[in-house]
Structure 1
Amino acid sequence: MTAISTAYQQSTVQPPTSLPFDERQAPAVRLYPLSNYTFGTKEGQPEEDPSVKERLRRLEEHYEQHGMRRTCEAVLVCHEHNHPHVLMLQIANAFFKLPGDYIPHSSDEIEGFKARLNERLAPPPTSSLSTRDTPAEADWNVTDTLAVWWRPNFETFMYPYLPAHVTRPKECKKLYLIQLPKSKVLSVPKNMKLLAVPLFELYDNTQRYGPQLSGIPHYLSRYRWEFVDEEGNVVAWTPGAAVDVRVKTKVLAGDGMDGMVE
């Protein structure tokens, strides 16, 4: 046996043990493989505003009529090769955004948010895909608020805090963690692409994704992940707590995302 092939054998030497390091942590979040999900397309959804200038103008009109705009976006996490991936939309092969949008001024926050997610990602009622989900799978499990961003003025800049001199912010955007079920059907507008972006690609990559999206690995670092295979077995997890199964790695096929995963 050559030295190269020997190097790839699994070591029989166990790592040294250490005391538990799992105090004051959020509950573990179970991630299912990307291949568990079904993806389709539906009619395109053109952006409401042809330019940033028009978007800010419409924001000003909204503020004059209804006050501060409330915007909700979803952080949908699954796994590929036992590494967390975030599902996000890409428009015109350039612009990245999370699923979600501003909610109507008269809507309840969570119900309005779920309605926006259905507009973006739910299959059309006439589609054969719409009957594949159970009622629980068709719903959105809004688990936790990950981040809050503020727009102080009618400008493009948003901040992860409200400046002390600002008493009337123009927009508040919340990023929510959505706990994906074991399986789910998602339909993407034809003029967009749905990408599964690994955390290491987002981290510290403000040039490509901007400060809000590149900050997602920071928001998610408080969670422990349990990675589940297609049969529902926990096969790997992030360190921090004991799990009663042996760690092993499984490479997922992910055929359902051909042409959609970056």
Structure 2
Amino acid sequence: MTTITEAARYTTVIPPPSGGFSQRQQKTIRLYPVSNYTFGTKEAQPEEDSSVTARLQRLQDHYEQYGMRRTCEGVLVCHEHGHPHILMLQIANAFFKLPGDYLQPGEDEIEGFTARLDERLAPVPAQQPSDSHTPSWEIGDCIAQWWRPNFESFTYPFIPPHVTRPKECKKMYLITLPKHKVLSVPKNMKLLAVPLFELYDNSARYGSQLSAIPQYLSRYNFEFVDENDVVIGRSPALTI
């Protein structure tokens, strides 16, 4: 039998990393207050399908002609009272979705995604300040991929082992908002700033994809600034 004293001779002591517990943390992202953004309206953009059945049928028609559908959505983050909020579209006072949509067959992913964001939220010329130099969308990390195995509503954050030909892949991209930006919302939609604590573990209201956003963003550090560009807080506030 090996005694504790004898076992200690064969134990390798691993020193703590020199960079500390946060040495591999993702980059810190600066968040601006929701009050920094100007919200306008533009022509309504009705849903393409009148029902879930019609939407799935259109997906099937697309798959038979072009193969798997590619969809991109943006996670636009700002802050309110020192807490991250996600800009989210609400349709018919009930249904929530992120800005974005499916790409056209053969369309470049980033170029197509940028065009979809413009279609949803870019201001019409009359609402754009003449002296504005608002940068284009800054598309950051792909923070999630969801897969639709069949022509059904169910999606998964993985491809089930028995599925070899998924019908749709939806990617979520982190969008870093600039200090100021004009956003125009279709008249039949609302753009809401939803706090992370409201989304977390709330699939009953927001669905499995949107309610998982707090987990996706947990790998980032955030820096909150006010209207004068003064840092007023950080998340996490603790130094590990």
Q: TM-score, normalised by structure 2?
A: 0.89
Aligned to 1:182, the other structure's residue is in SS state coil
2:134–2:180 contact (8 Å) kept in structure 1: no
* 1:11-160 pair list within 5 angstroms: 21-125=21-125, 127-129=126-128, 131=130, 133-136=132-135, 139-160=136-157
Q: Distance in 2 between matches of 1:97 and 1:132?
A: 32
The alpha-carbon deviation at position 239 of structure 1 amounts to 3.2
2: distance between equivalents of 1:225 and 1:80? 13
Please report how far the alpha carbon of residue 233 of structure 1 lies from its aligned counterpart in structure 2 after TM superposition: 1.5
> Deviation at 1:56?
0.5
- Indicate the residue corresponding to 2:193 in structure 1: 196
Structure 1: distance between partners of 2:149 and 2:127: 44
Cα offsets for 1:21-73 (capped at 9, x unmatched)? 42211000000011111000000000000001001000011001110000000
Shift of residue 235 of structure 1? 1.4
Instruction: Judge conservation of contact 1:28–1:224 (CA < 8 Å) in 2.
Output: yes
Contact 2:72-2:171 within 8 A present in 1 as well? yes
Q: CA deviation at 1:133?
A: 3.5
Deviations 1:221-249 (A, max 9, x none): 0000000111112111123776xxxxxxx
Contact 1:145 1:177 (C-alpha < 8 Å) held by counterparts: yes
Root mean square deviation of aligned Cα: 1.5
Q: What is the CA–CA distance in structure 2 between the aligned matches of 1:41 and 1:31, rounded to whole Å? A: 24
Question: Are the equivalent residues in 2 in contact too, given 1:152–1:170 (CA < 8 A)?
Answer: yes
The Cα shift of 1:128 comes to 3.2
Between the two proteins, the alignment pairs up a number of residues equal to: 221
Change (3 A) 1:56 1:39: same
Letter of the 1:233 counterpart? V
CA distance in 2, matches of 1:154, 1:216: 24
Distance in 2 between residues matched to 1:116 and 1:83, nearest whole Å: 27
Query: 1:218 matched to which residue of 2?
Result: 215
2:186, 2:129 → 1: CA distance?
Answer: 15
Higher strand share: 2
Q: Is the 8 A contact 1:42 1:187 kept in 2?
A: yes
For residues 29 and 203 of structure 1, what CA distance do their matches in structure 2 show?
20
Structure 1: unaligned runs, 5 residues or longer: 1-18, 243-262
3-state SS of 1:60 partner: helix
Q: Quick one: which amino acid aligns to residue 153 of structure 1?
A: N
Inter-partner Cα distance in structure 2 for 1:130 and 1:69:
36
Match of 2:226 in 1: 229
SS at match of 2:128: helix
The residue type equivalent to 2:127 in the other structure is S
Deviates more, 1:86-95 or 1:227-236: 227-236
**Unaligned 5+ residue runs, structure 2?**
1-18
Taking the aligned partners of 2:210 and 2:35, their CA distance within structure 1 comes to: 24
**TM-score normalised by L of structure 1:** 0.81
Q: Which amino acid aligns with 1:59?
A: L
Letter in 1 for 2:62: H
Question: Does the Cα contact within 8 Å between 1:20 and 1:240 map onto a contact in 2?
Answer: no
The percent identity for this pair of structures is 68
Contact 1:85 1:197 in 2 (8 A): yes
- Bigger radius of gyration among the two: 2
Q: Is the 1:21–1:241 contact (alpha carbons within 8 Å) kept by the matching residues of 2?
A: no
Partners of 2:70 and 2:103 within 8 A in 1: yes
Matched residue of 2:227: which SS?
coil
